[in-house]
């Protein structure tokens, strides 16, 4: 359903980064997006996921300051096999912050991870 308040056409997420190229390489591989535009000064935009466009695009924005606190917004990656996905993401440069434990909300479990810039995200799978 389209919002009755405006003509919503798509939803995108923008991540702040000290190193947009490194962050874009990680998220491009993690999401299967392709690099659409930008050179990192200040933006790189990734889009065109083969996963049925669950998210229209992800923009990486160069900022001068480093990450100092937990993000108030994060990305959740819903997968079929969390162990396999977590291992692949670690190979791409992510770190596990909190391993999945048992069954959580609605029978799902989540592994809390950080991208190469320290940005939190979750890998979510049915328990």
Domain positions in the chain = 10-66, 68-127
pTM reported for the whole predicted model: 0.79
Angle CA(37)–CA(22)–CA(92) in degrees, nearest 5?
A: 115
Asked which of 3-12, 89-98, 110-119 is least confident by mean pLDDT, the reply is 3-12
Band of pLDDT at residue 108, cut at 50, 70 and 90: confident
Q: How confident is the model at residue 88 (pLDDT cuts 50, 70, 90)?
A: very high
- CATH (residue range 68-127): 3.10.180.10
* CB count in 10 Å sphere of residue 54: 10
Q: Is the pLDDT of residue 83 over 60?
A: yes
Would 10-66 and 68-127 be classified into the same CATH topology? yes
CB 89 within 8 A of CB 123: yes
Q: Residue 94's beta-bridge partner residues?
A: none
CATH of domain 10-66: 3.10.180.10
Gap between the Cα atoms of 117 and 127, Å rounded: 28
User: Residue 51 pLDDT more than 80?
Assistant: no
């Amino acid at each position: 359903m389209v919002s009755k308040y405006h003509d919503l056409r798509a939803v995108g997420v923008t991540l702040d980064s000290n190193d947009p190229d490194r962050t874009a390489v990680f998220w491009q591989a993690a999401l299967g997006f392709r690099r659409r535009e930008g050179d990192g000064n200040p933006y790189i935009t990734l889009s065109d996921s083969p996963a049925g466009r669950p998210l229209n695009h992800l923009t990486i924005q160069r900022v001068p300051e480093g990450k100092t606190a937990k993000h108030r917004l994060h990305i959740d990656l819903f997968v079929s096999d969390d162990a396999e996905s977590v291992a692949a993401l670690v190979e791409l440069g992510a770190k596990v912050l909190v391993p999945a434990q048992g069954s959580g909300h609605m029978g799902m479990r989540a592994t809390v991870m950080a991208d190469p810039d320290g940005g939190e995200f979750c890998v979510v799978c049915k328990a």
